[in-house]
Structure 1
Amino acid sequence: MDAATLSFLTLTLMCCVGAGVSLNVLKLLPSDYDSTVEPRPPGGVPILVGISWSIKNVYEVNFREMSVLLSMYFRMSWAEPRLVTGSLTGEGMVPLHSDLMKHLWIPDLFIHETREITSFKMIEEVQGVYLRPPNTILFSTLLQTRLACPMSFSRYPFDVQVCNMTVTSYKFSEDVLRLEWMLKEMWADITVDDQLPNYDFHIEWRNITTKHWCSNCSFAPVSVGQAEIVLARRYALHLLTVYVPSALFVAVAWASFFWPPEVIPGRTVLIITSLLTVISMYAAIGQKSPETSYLKAIDVWLFLCIVLVVFTLFQYTIIITIQRKQKERVIEVVVPMNNRCHRHNTPATGGSFTTRQNSAESPSPPSSSKVDGPAAAYEAGKRSPPNRLVMYEQWVEKAGKVGIPLIFFICNIVYWAVYLS
């Protein structure tokens, strides 16, 4: 027997087996079965459709697209009284071939937040169909879903994102089709947390409710099953790489308070270096963090650090200005006094030696010359400009040493109370 004949016989056998399976499955359906007509439970009650889903993997949380990519097992069950089950009795689950779904009425459920949904497939689609006697169908499938998840980053990196999963019927109102949770409503695999290094993951499911996302709907309310995927960002790494280093650079700028004001190059270089480092951190973090038109928590923190370093630089600028004023006032006072002393101590030119000698021996009357300006005020003791400026310099120095760290401490209390609440 050649290879071509063997292949033909193999394909024929597979087709016969498939046809046999399909024939066995189709025996459950009456000859007049119409898959476009929904089943009608006795008594006119709504069709009860049980739903549940379990999240197997979370592949990606994309904050730029505001979406979550995950895989999940989706299950639904409903009663089909038109099935011809024959001798099938008992409580056990009877597995059926998936070809039955091509000929069976299926609830038209969909997930509102889905951007993209794909069925897993290797040789056949990864799905299963079971019959729970006498007439309950259980369908299960593995799906890869990208969910739209509106996100807010005002508290980044302390943000908590809540992604909704809303399952409902597309065309049937709650009077015709009503959802209910199955025994296991919604859960996630225990390994999901390990798949998300940046987030803590957990699920919160809600009771079945009527349609609530539109206020002025022109059509009848539908039954809704909703669950929340909660993603709480882990911020320990941000504390170690952003918050602690930036606070230390601010403290390094404060070390200039304990350097003499006369050391202008060293004190200025210390403050400017700290300022440029914090600004560089702000620029680098801005490229990695989500782009928003509003301030995030990390932006507020880095802006606060920059402002406090700038305050330190301004404080030193004020001190240098006061010192320059001191030197100018000293020159205004001392130079006129030196000039006056020089005029009184210099002998007059001309005249005889005797006249100069008598003038030197006889006491001179008090000079009636007048010194104007700041020198006169300084000489009269009315005020002392250099001493007063020294006092101002001491006040500014103490205000910087105490006031700027105190502002940072108060801002820390407010910041952490607001963003960690």
Structure 2
Amino acid sequence: MAGHSSHNDLRNWLICCIWIVIAASFVETAAVDKRCTRNSINLGNIIDTLLKDYDIHLLPEAEGVNVTIEMHVQGVSGISEITADFELDVMYSEIWLDPRLSFKHLNVCATNITLKSDFRSKIWNPDTCIINSKESSIHSSPSENSYIIVYENGLVWSNFRLKVKAPCKMDLKMFPFDSIQCQLVFESYSFNIDEVNLLWHDVPITMMEKVELPDFDLIGWRTDSEELHYPNGNWQRALVKFTFARRYGFYLFQSYFPTSLTVISSWVGFFFDVRSVSARITLGVSSLLALTFQFGNVLRHLPRVSYIKCLDVWMIFSVIFIFCTLVELAIVCQLNRWEREKQIGSKVLGHWLNQIRKTRKNNTSDNGDGVRKRFLLSPIHKEDNDGPSRPSPDNNLAKRSFVKAAGTVTVIPSSDEEVEMLTTKEPNWWRTVPSRIAQLCCPPDRDWSITSVQVDRCSMIMFPLSFLVFNVIYWCIYFKKMDRPM
């Protein structure tokens, strides 16, 4: 009997376990059938119930509506200096509370419902717009990228995916070390500040990916709010300002470095011979043309502004340095011409002096009494039949010999008495004061003449030194003015 009883107990235990498993499966199946899904909600009835007696012209709250906005930046397409604007793709969201859309009393299993964009035209919305945009559009790829989420307490979240082109503030005085500020201004187009108040979210801007542009880096952004007065009331504005810093590496390698080499190459002419005028002119003019071409290539991509940019200062001084090399070449050529004329004049003068000495020597040898005769350039008129001989009008001047060479006239005394007369004649003492002062300041035994070779040697030192000083002053001033991180 005892064995039979234990066998019955085991059988009853197994039967209970089977029934428990079957009951649990039935409960799980019922829970799955009652799970809240989008298809299990009759959205049509809910929307009809919410929009019954709904007036889209009335504010959700009579005291005014606080609209919270936020942005998710997907990317910046580009920045144009010519048109002074930038393009970006954003996901723009605005949130407000509309108690008339609360469906908590309908005992719906979901806490929020997602509706398509056509539902927006059936309810009140704040009519926000980007008031300063040049162009803006909602993406359609392929359908319109927008939706609305309505929560059970009446909170409405409206989202758009936009492509926006907006203006930027361009100040190119520090170009290419400048920064650019671009901003978006949000405003309710239909409602003033008493009806709609725009507020930024706690996290107003979210960068969905790192912004990388060929010419600019996004270094920061900030949000702000302001109140603007119109003739028919005050409107609330929400602003976001993006700051972009220009990448100046391109300009260092394409503008500053080549122009520096162009200026330095123009100094090679200082090492040429003074007589290589054509080669030095070709080098200077080629350097000037190359610098002008480089400058024009940079200005082609910039707007025509009336103020001087940082790069303009560099280019202008580079042109001045090359122009000064051409001026130095003109001075050297002129000095070299004067030197050649002086050498030719010295040779001609020496030849005439030798001829005069030979003539005097011959005259001395012909006269037995040893009396030196004068060497006269003009003849003395002889006595004719009518009367005694007339002295020539230039008889007194004919006592000197004149030698003309290289554009100068040299007077040579023809006798010792004439030399003595010229040396013993003294002017008034007060007339000699300036000459004496000049002799004290500039001793006559010192050679004050400047040669073309000396000018070239001085230029070899002064031009590189002055260019170095200019570089130190230029970079110190503009690095100090730079209002952006390096």
Q: Structure 1 length as normaliser, TM-score?
A: 0.79
SS at match of 1:206: strand
What are the within-5 Å matches in structure 2 for residues 277-356 of structure 1? 277-346=290-359, 356=366
Matching residue of 1:184: 203
Matching residue of 1:388: 448
Matching residue of 2:215: 198
**1:60-118 CA distance string (max 9 Å, x none):** 32222222122110000000012241246899654234332121100021112111111
Aligned-residue offset at 1:374 = 6.4
Aligned-residue offset at 1:187 = 2.7
Aligned-residue offset at 1:166 = 1.0
Change in Cα spacing, 1:346 to 1:101, as seen in structure 2 (3 Å) is same
2:128 aligned with 1:114, yes or no? Answer: no
SS at match of 1:114: coil
Aligned-residue offset at 1:40 = 1.4
1:128–1:141 contact (8 Å) kept in structure 2: yes
Matching residue of 1:10: none
Matching residue of 1:25: 47
Amino acid at match of 1:95: T
**1:123-166 CA distance string (max 9 Å, x none):** 53111211233111011110111112242333322221111111
**1: CA distance between counterparts of 2:50 and 2:70?**
25
Matching residue of 1:64: 82
Matching residue of 1:136: 155
**1:9-65 CA distance string (max 9 Å, x none):** xxxxxxxx9xx7555333323x22110121115xx3x31100011221222322222
**1:202-241 CA distance string (max 9 Å, x none):** 4412233323xx6xx4343322211112221111011111
2:211–2:217 contact (8 Å) kept in structure 1: no
Residue in structure 2 matching 1:227, options 229, 232, 240: 240
2:71–2:93 contact (8 Å) kept in structure 1: yes
Q: Name stretches of at least 5 consecutive residues in structure 2 with no aligned partner.
A: 1-38, 376-398, 413-422, 424-442
SS at match of 1:192: coil
SS at match of 2:173: coil
Matching residue of 1:404: 463
1:325–1:389 contact (8 Å) kept in structure 2: no
- The count of corresponding residues between Structure 1 and Structure 2 is 384
Q: Name stretches of at least 5 consecutive residues in structure 1 with no aligned partner.
A: 1-16
SS at match of 1:262: coil
Amino acid at match of 1:182: H
Residue in structure 1 matching 2:61, options 17, 34, 40: 40
1:75–1:141 contact (8 Å) kept in structure 2: yes
Aligned-residue offset at 1:285 = 2.6
2:265 aligned with 1:241, yes or no? Answer: no
**2: CA distance between counterparts of 1:202 and 1:109?**
28
Aligned-residue offset at 1:310 = 0.7
Select the structure of larger CA radius of gyration: 2
**1: CA distance between counterparts of 2:246 and 2:210?**
17
Matching residue of 1:5: none
Change in Cα spacing, 1:154 to 1:358, as seen in structure 2 (3 Å) is same
Change in Cα spacing, 1:328 to 1:162, as seen in structure 2 (3 Å) is same
Residue in structure 1 matching 2:267, options 245, 254, 278: 254
2:92 aligned with 1:74, yes or no? Answer: yes
Amino acid at match of 2:119: L
Aligned-residue offset at 1:199 = 0.8
SS at match of 1:154: helix
Residue in structure 2 matching 1:157, options 166, 176, 179: 176
Amino acid at match of 1:129: I
Amino acid at match of 2:74: K
Change in Cα spacing, 1:384 to 1:364, as seen in structure 2 (3 Å) is farther
Deviates more, 1:87-96 or 1:135-144: 87-96
**2: CA distance between counterparts of 1:117 and 1:343?**
100
Matching residue of 2:192: 173
Change in Cα spacing, 1:275 to 1:97, as seen in structure 2 (3 Å) is closer
Matching residue of 2:416: none
2:101–2:150 contact (8 Å) kept in structure 1: no
Matching residue of 1:268: 281
Deviates more, 1:77-86 or 1:337-346: 337-346
Deviates more, 1:85-94 or 1:170-179: 85-94
Aligned-residue offset at 1:346 = 3.6
Amino acid at match of 1:82: R
2:75–2:211 contact (8 Å) kept in structure 1: yes
Higher relative CO (Cα under 8 Å, sequence separation at least 6) belongs to 1
2:73 aligned with 1:49, yes or no? Answer: no
**1: CA distance between counterparts of 2:317 and 2:191?**
55
